[in-house]
Amino acid sequence: MRDLMGMMKQAKELQERMQQMQAELETVEVDGASGGGLVLVRVTAKGECKAVRIDPSLVKPDEVEILEDLIVAALADARGKAERVMQEKMQSLTGGLALPPGLKLF
């Protein structure tokens, strides 16, 4: 019975820390880039796009497809960085708990 109570206490603590981390992740922002820095995007760790910056040299009517591809690449770069930030936060959050392999909390 003690083990069950201890597990319940750990689960409640984990839930509280998860809520805190979720709130924190909304404020963490990462930058993604493509085209050697000609296209920059800023996203939250939760994947919300906050800003897009495009170097004026890329704004040419006959090269719109290139610009579109660079924006997609910059967003992918930022998303990858955001996922790494989330993984690092999760590792620090669950460091003391023995969670089963493959268990995802998001």
- Longest CA–CA separation in the chain, Å: 71
Q: What's the sign of the alpha-carbon dihedral 88, 100, 26, 23?
A: negative
Structure tokens at 3: 């083990």
83 band by pLDDT with thresholds 50, 70 and 90: confident
- pTM (predicted TM-score): 0.59
Taking only the tens place, the pLDDT of each residue in 10-56 is 888 888 888 888 788 778 888 999 999 999 999 888 778 888 999 98
**Which H or E element spans position 2?**
helix 2-25
Percent of the chain with pLDDT over 90: 14
Q: Which residues pair with 43 in a beta bridge?
A: 30, 49
Mean pLDDT of the chain: 82
The CA distance from 46 to 19, in Å, is: 13
Residue 103 pLDDT greater than 60, yes or no: no
- Per-residue confidence (pLDDT) for residue 101, from 0 to 100: 57
1: helix, strand or coil: coil
Q: Would you state the pLDDT for residue 98? A: 55
